[in-house]
Chains A and B, each alone.
Chain A
């Protein structure tokens, strides 16, 4: 039996002003994931390509005879981020599938929305969880590689010549993270089963890629690359890194598709995240 009074007591302390609840949701979500060993393993695994690239940069910086073969350039950074696509895909499903679906299954939305927070805060908090982890496996290692190059080489020569790489890595990662975050959240709000959500997301990624692959096989033309979610990101990414676009589709079309998908996802979230589900 504790020694303090177990009766109900009124609270006399201060309260935070409304508008900060999203950070509470985000922090709780991030901590929940970090406590999972399997997730930590995935996170470590996702950093292996970074280690490989770091060794590559080290060798190129310290053994000039290998510089022509291994020397860093914009293409290397672009390839690195493309390699991370696999981990972004896995992490999006692992982290994102249950973000809203689990709350819907446990009727938690009415708990959240009975507190002083807006629906946008709830969505922002949930989005921040997935967005953070995607950036941790894309933007953070990309920027660190840039700094490692400066450190191993001992000069700013490469950085000065490729100053656009900093915004390129940032914008490319941002676009990928925003698309993955909001499409996954929208799908997560449609179901109470995180398993179905994960399958649905994977289905959309693979199905759109398959459709595009079939069209290429039939027409021998890549101008329909906008049909594939992954191809749109790849096309825009190439342009951001000042590389020749790999598909015949205008990059503006790919960008519009990406922005359109984010807009549709936000619209779905606006409809689905409510304190009460009205069936008429």
Chain B
């Protein structure tokens, strides 16, 4: 790479472990409070921003980009205050918007190079980087085509390319797999995973798709109705606080669900008639088989409750706790 025009943007020392820090941030659109006093820390690496539609994920990203001015609170990105250093921050972040977004009338390589120049890259470097990132995102062969002719999946890739061209330290990816076919989705997730884990690019992946976050991220922040309802490393959130079982029963199901809830067990229905039951650690001995060879405590609890209320257990199988369980628990789904 040539190094003409040798301005190097300031890289202040990050005084906190978090790459992004929100402190009691509130964003109000008219009468709608999109973010309600949100405080969160995004750890370095890949962090998932998880939540149902309307939870406030995109609003949070737009506030961090400076598109939306918070009514209250303070935000820092890469150690810099968003209100005081918006340009310095945007020089070091890449943003992949949720909606279809491009600059009309350009082919892919011109568009990505143009974005590189807008981010401060010299023209020659921007063009070289454009070719590189387009190959990286899998658009190498289509890079001279007009973007208006691209499919939805290709437009997702071009959005990632423009976010990467200036080599950001932090990537904001807003629903990056929207509208992609299964193969393209897997490829996109693999690209994101590699960026976050092998290329030292910090990233925040906003998604309502649990598998996407689980595959690509190490940490997660779960949002619901404008608030953070859970945050931390995914592995930590998933366990070892209890065990999850797949359960199918015959009998009065609504009444039995009430019984399970009453006993402190979380239940969530899945496909068919199988439900997932979370038994907290405080109710079991972490699933250890007792010396007598009897069933582990957590399984016995379910059988005993079923027996007491005349319900037949047709299927009970331990399951690996998934991010879905964390999410469901955090947002209070049943």
Contacts and interface: CB of A to CB of B under 8 A. Distances in A.
Contact of A276 (B68, B102, B121): B68
Interface string A95-124: 000000011011110111111111000000
B66 A275 contact: yes
A111 B115 contact: yes
A167 interface: no
> Which among B7, B68, B120 has the greatest number of chain A C-beta atoms within 10 A?
B120
Given A111-B97, A275-B62, A116 B133 contact: no
B102 A18 contact: no
A161 interface: no
A14 B4 contact: yes
Contacts, number: 144
Interface stretch (A1-9, A171-179, A216-224): A1-9
B115 A116 contact: no
17 contacts: A7-B136, A8-B195, A11-B129, A18-B91, A102-B104, A103-B104, A106-B100, A107-B101, A108-B101, A108-B103, A111-B101, A111-B102, A111-B103, A275-B66, A275-B67, A280-B29, A280-B32
Given A6-B135, A103-B103, A106-B103, A13 B62 contact: no
Interface in B1-47: 1-9, 29-32
A6 B140 contact: yes
Nearest to A28: B114
B118 A112 contact: yes
A8 B163 CA distance: 13
A8 B194 contact: yes
Interface string A245-280: 000000000000000000000000000001110101
A12 interface: yes
> Which among A7, A16, A20, A25 has the greatest number of chain B C-beta atoms within 10 A?
A16
Nearest to A125: B118
B90 A116 contact: yes
B75 to A, nearest CB: 15
Given A103-B103, A280-B30, A21 B118 contact: yes
A15 interface: yes
Interface string A71-100: 000000000000000000000000000000
Interface residues of A, number: 41
B65 interface: yes
A11 B125 contact: yes
A32 interface: yes
Given A103-B104, A116-B88, A14 B195 contact: no
Nearest to B172: A114
Given A15-B91, A116-B90, A117-B87, A105 B31 contact: no
Interface of A: 2, 4, 6-18, 20-21, 24-25, 28, 32, 102-103, 105-108, 110-118, 274-276, 278, 280
Given A106-B102, A110-B97, A111-B102, A15 B1 contact: no
A79 B288 CA distance: 98
Contacts of B132: 4, 6, 8-9
Given A111-B97, A278-B68, 20 more contacts: A2-B135, A6-B140, A8-B164, A11-B167, A14-B8, A16-B5, A24-B114, A106-B102, A107-B102, A108-B101, A110-B95, A111-B101, A111-B162, A112-B118, A113-B65, A115-B118, A115-B166, A117-B87, A118-B87, A280-B30
A280 B31 contact: yes
B117 interface: yes
A102 B132 CA distance: 28
Contact of B120 (A4, A7, A113, A116): A116
B318 interface: no
Nearest to A102: B104
Contacts of A8: 132-133, 136, 164, 194-195, 199
B182 interface: no
Given A11-B1, A115-B90, A116-B119, A107 B68 contact: no
Contact of A17 (B7, B129, B162): B7
B99 interface: yes
Contacts of A4: 132
A16 B118 CA distance: 9
Contacts of B8: 14-15
